Amino acid sequence: MSENVNDRLTQAMHGQPQTNIDERHQYLGSLRERIYLRLTVKEAEDKSAVQVFLKHFADYQQYQVLINGKIAQTALMQQVVAASAKANTHFAVINDESAKDGEADTGLLVVSTTAINEDAITLTDKYHLATATNTDPTNEQKPERHSLFGKLFGDSKGE
């Protein structure tokens, strides 16, 4: 009985215990295993990224859309809210301590109420988009380097 009283007192003082607190702060109060799609704040403010999101909006109708309430409420975000209302998709604006406004923080999420364990949750991975941040730096053309030996002894590359 005393354990039960202590547990109740602890819960009353500190609130309901939560699992994966850091993960919930990163994903607007949700868990990674429930995420179908994630847009960063930078992507959520990018017109082309939001247009791709809206183009595939039919894919999200069985899910819930979570919008970061600390990002600028632009016309693009208003389009997302309007599309959610039109498609009768649940949406919520999250404006608590998990909502941050850094470029790499979460700007918009499409989540399920249960675990779906999607491997690719970013817009570029899910829809195979090519972006400037998605290019591989190893494929860039590097200037041809000449060896000292070639320069000294007249190698065709060294001339």
pLDDT tens profile 7-64: 888 888 887 777 788 888 888 989 999 999 999 999 988 889 999 999 999 999 899 9
pTM attached to this predicted model: 0.71
| 149 falls within a domain | no
Other C-beta atoms lying within 10 Å of the C-beta of residue 106 = 27
- Is 134 a domain residue? no
Assigned domain for 57 exists = yes
What's the number of domains the chain is made of? 1
Q: Which domain holds residue 74?
A: 22-118
Residue 77 lies in a domain: yes
Q: What is the pLDDT of residue 132?
A: 46
pLDDT at position 134 = 43
**HSE-CB for 73 with a 13 A CA cutoff:** 7
CATH code of residue 65: 3.30.1330.30
pLDDT in tens, 120-159: 999 989 988 765 444 444 445 555 666 776 777 775 554 4
Residue 146 lies in a domain: no
